[in-house]
Amino acid sequence: MSSKRPAVLLVLSLAAIAALAACSTGPTPPTVSPSAPATSSAPTTPIPTPEPVAASVAFSAEAIMVLDAAGATLASFDYFQPTAEVVTGLTEYLGAPVDSPNAGGMETPPGIDHVWAGLRLFDTDTPGNAPEVPNHVMFVDGPMAGPLPIATADGVGSPEGVAVGDPPASMTIGVEVSPPYTDPTTGRTVVVSRIGIVTLPPNPADSMPRNIGVMALSYDDTGVIERLSAPSANFGV
């Protein structure tokens, strides 16, 4: 009996060691693969929309418009709003005008001229009364209004508009022509035409149909349109 005990003890000791080894050896932790550091994207700066740039001035019997290169209207002014508003608005695009008093004449009340190169805005002292008496009248005696070209709006007189310097034959849409006459002060033969005519509401005090348009003065000796003006009425003095 005594010879078997050491063998039994040896077996138990080996079993205990094996058990301890099993307890002390845990599962192998997973291997973490190295990854590239996260990169933060730079914030996107919005690209500002460019401000529209004035490219031309167009007008009709009802309004003066500043247009961009695509023909979109940037600003519009009429002939019955306060003249100071119109001058301020045009100055934003054309620069400051040259102002001078206008003494008027037999058929014209006195007032002030606001001039941007070939564009003259005549502010009469007589208050306006829509839709027949404007606060101001526009005269165009050249192809430029300050730094911008000026012409009638598309469709007024021609598909592309009419400008000072164009031949009278360029007026092909809605043209009303008066017989030529000789200007007594210059001796020149002039033809008065009206284009872009707009019918006004009936006036109870007058049965005559009333309208306004753009007046064009062309001369035989030069063969071109030398002046455009608006609004031009078919009534009054």
The string of DSSP codes covering 14-80 is: HHHHHHHHHHH--PPPPPPPP-PPP-PPPPPPPPPPPPP-EEEEEE-SSEEEEEETTS-EEEEEESS
On whether the pTM is more than 0.75, the answer is yes
**Strand bridging mode 176-177 / 181-182:** unpaired
Kindly state whether residue 23 falls inside one of the protein's structural domains.
Answer: no
Kindly state whether residue 164 falls inside one of the protein's structural domains.
Answer: yes
Q: What is the pLDDT of residue 23?
A: 42
Q: Tell me the β-bridge partners of 20.
A: none
190-213 average pLDDT score? 94
**Strand bridging mode 225-233 / 189-199:** unpaired
Contact 57, 153 (CB under 8 A): no
Kindly state whether residue 64 falls inside one of the protein's structural domains.
Answer: yes
**pLDDT-wise least confident of 27-41, 115-129, 176-190:** 27-41
Kindly state whether residue 156 falls inside one of the protein's structural domains.
Answer: yes
Domain that holds residue 101: 54-233
Q: What is the pLDDT of residue 16?
A: 38
What is the number of domains present in the chain? 1
pLDDT digits (tens, 9 = 90+) for 201-211: 998 888 889 99
Kindly state whether residue 145 falls inside one of the protein's structural domains.
Answer: yes
Q: What is the pLDDT of residue 44?
A: 75
Kindly state whether residue 44 falls inside one of the protein's structural domains.
Answer: no
**pLDDT-wise least confident of 51-55, 77-81, 105-109, 160-164:** 105-109
Phi-psi region of 236 (alpha: psi -120 to 50; beta: other; left: phi over 0): left
The token pair at 177 is 């022509």
The token pair at 153 is 């709006």
Q: What is the pLDDT of residue 106?
A: 82
Residue among 99, 111, 91, 193 at smallest CA distance from 152: 193
pLDDT digits (tens, 9 = 90+) for 27-85: 555 555 555 555 556 667 778 778 889 999 999 999 999 999 999 999 999 999 999 99
Kindly state whether residue 162 falls inside one of the protein's structural domains.
Answer: yes
Kindly state whether residue 123 falls inside one of the protein's structural domains.
Answer: yes
Instruction: Please state, rounded to an integer, the average pLDDT across all residues of the chain.
Output: 86
Count of positions (residues) in the chain: 237
